[in-house]
Amino acid sequence: MNRTSIVAKTAGLFSACAVSALAGTVALEPATIATTTTAFENTRRPITNPTLFDNALPQSNVHPIFMYHRLPDFADTTLGPLAMGGHVEIYALQLEWALTDRLSLVATKDGYVRFRPDTPGLWSAQEGFANLAGGLKYAFILDPVNEFVLSGSATFEFPTGNQDVFQGEGDGAVNLIVSGLKMWDRWQFAGGAGIRLPFDGQMSTNTFVSTHVSYEVVPWFIPLVELNWHHVLEAGNGRASFFSQAGGAVPVVATFEGNDLLNFGAANASQNRDLVTAAVGFRSRITESVDLGFAYEFPLTDEETGIIEDRFTADLVWRF
What's residue 120's pLDDT? Answer: 86
pTM, rounded to two decimals:
0.86
- Residue-wise pLDDT tens digits, 77-118: 999 999 999 999 999 999 999 999 999 999 999 999 999 999
The answer to which of 9-13, 237-241, 260-264 has the lowest mean pLDDT is 9-13
What's residue 261's pLDDT? Answer: 87
What's the whole-number mean pLDDT along residues 198-210? 96
Q: How many structural domains comprise the chain?
A: 1
The answer to which of 36-40, 92-96, 153-157 has the lowest mean pLDDT is 36-40
CATH number of the domain residue 159 falls in: 2.40.160.40
Containing structural domain, residue 17: 3-319
Q: How confident is the model at residue 39 (pLDDT cuts 50, 70, 90)?
A: confident
pLDDT of 32 higher than 90 = no
Q: How confident is the model at residue 45 (pLDDT cuts 50, 70, 90)?
A: very high
Query: What span, in angstroms and rounded, lies between the C-alpha atoms of 209 and 231?
Result: 9
Q: How confident is the model at residue 20 (pLDDT cuts 50, 70, 90)?
A: very low
Q: How confident is the model at residue 37 (pLDDT cuts 50, 70, 90)?
A: low
pLDDT of 168 higher than 90 = yes
